[in-house]
Amino acid sequence: MNRKYKNYFFYLTFLITVLSFGACESVINLNLKDAKPAIVIEANVTDRAEPQIVFISQTKPFNQNNTINPVSQAVVTVFDEDGNQHQFFETIPGKYVSASFAGVSGKKYTIQVKVEGTLYTASSLMPQKVLLDSLSLTELSFFNDTKKYVQVHFNDPVAEANQYNYVLYVNDEIRNAYYVDNDRFNDGKNVTNTIFNSDPALKKGDSVTVDFQCIDEPIYRYFFTLSQIAGNGGPPTAPANPDSNFDNGALGYFSAHTSQKKSNIIP
């Protein structure tokens, strides 16, 4: 989670770096004011029958370290459109876990998070599930440097808007938390997509797992913005906070999505 939210403050680092290199003959004193701390919520409900997890933290001033500032004693509840509700309980500071349950495709889920008397709410519609057929491996060369990359293969449904997120694990550690795609140019086709993972490069014997997620449109836009900030698929763009689906000024997201995992060993 820390890896995601540190992107919110990237623009400050960029600004200071530019000013530092441009100040060869004079000293520039920056009078940067600290923004009011904001609540950051990372919440997911999947169609896997397992405990669902919510992380809650708070932003820090730019001049402090980027370790997570967890928020405790929040009240977290998820509702579905049929009136069923699920309570979440804090297991460690900032981490809230429910009893095991599975979300259902086509249903809308709403989360309420209450922190020190302030209520934050978001909703997400769990899409229909698209099945991941298989994983494969490809080798690509850039500037005489050849690396191995994982590819996903699936059949996109015809005449139906679909958005996807590929979460890549290497040796049980998250390598890419958001690598999104949609079917704007692949509607109804057999799709092969390459996941351009970040360093270190994949090597023989590595265990790779892809969590293939079908996500709704607001979450696609949210992760797409994060991926552009991080430079996935190209150079980083001008940083800005993605549009959260939470109200009341909270940062972060709530995603109700399907999840299917497949694994391979790099030969």
Any domain includes 151: no
**26-76 confidence digits (pLDDT tens):** 444 444 456 678 999 999 999 999 999 999 999 977 666 677 899 999 999
Average pLDDT of the segment spanning 139-144: 87
DSSP letters of 15-84?
Answer: HHHHHHHH-SSS-----PPPPPP-EEEEEEEESSSEEEEEEEEE---TTS--S--B--S-EEEEEETTS-
**Which residue is it, tokens 């590819």?**
151
Alpha-carbon torsion 180, 43, 108, 47, what sign? positive
Range of the domain at 20: 2-125
- Round to whole Å and give the CA distance between 116 and 75: 9
Predicted pLDDT of residue 74: 98
Any domain includes 97: yes
Among 73, 101, 89, 56, smallest CA distance to 256 is for: 101
Any domain includes 167: no
- The values of phi and psi at residue 67, to 5°, are -70, 155
- Round to whole Å and give the CA distance between 24 and 2: 34
94 vs 89, 101, 247, CA distance in Å?
A: 10, 21, 19
Predicted pLDDT of residue 24: 44
**83-99 confidence digits (pLDDT tens):** 999 999 999 999 999 99
Predicted pLDDT of residue 30: 44
Question: Does the pLDDT at position 115 exceed 50?
Answer: yes
**Which residue is it, tokens 């460690």?**
92
Any domain includes 131: no
Q: Are 111 and 155 in contact (CB under 8 A)?
A: no
Q: Are 266 and 210 in contact (CB under 8 A)?
A: no
* Tokens standing for residue 71: 């928020």
Any domain includes 113: yes
Any domain includes 71: yes
Tally of domains within the chain: 1
- Round to whole Å and give the CA distance between 115 and 265: 43
Predicted pLDDT of residue 264: 95
- Round to whole Å and give the CA distance between 165 and 210: 10
Any domain includes 8: yes
- Round to whole Å and give the CA distance between 152 and 183: 14
- Residue 13 has a CB neighbour count (10 Å cut-off) of 13
Q: Domain containing 24 — which CATH number?
A: 2.60.40.10
- Can you list the pairs that 79-87 forms with residues at least 24 positions away whose Cβ atoms lie under 8 Å? 79/109, 79/110, 79/111, 79/112, 80/104, 80/107, 80/108, 80/109, 80/110, 81/107, 81/108, 81/109, 82/107, 86/52
**Which residue is it, tokens 């919110």?**
8
Any domain includes 118: yes
Tell me the pLDDT band of 145, cut-offs 50, 70 and 90. Answer: confident
Alpha-carbon torsion 136, 140, 145, 146, what sign? positive
- Round to whole Å and give the CA distance between 113 and 243: 18
pTM confidence score: 0.82
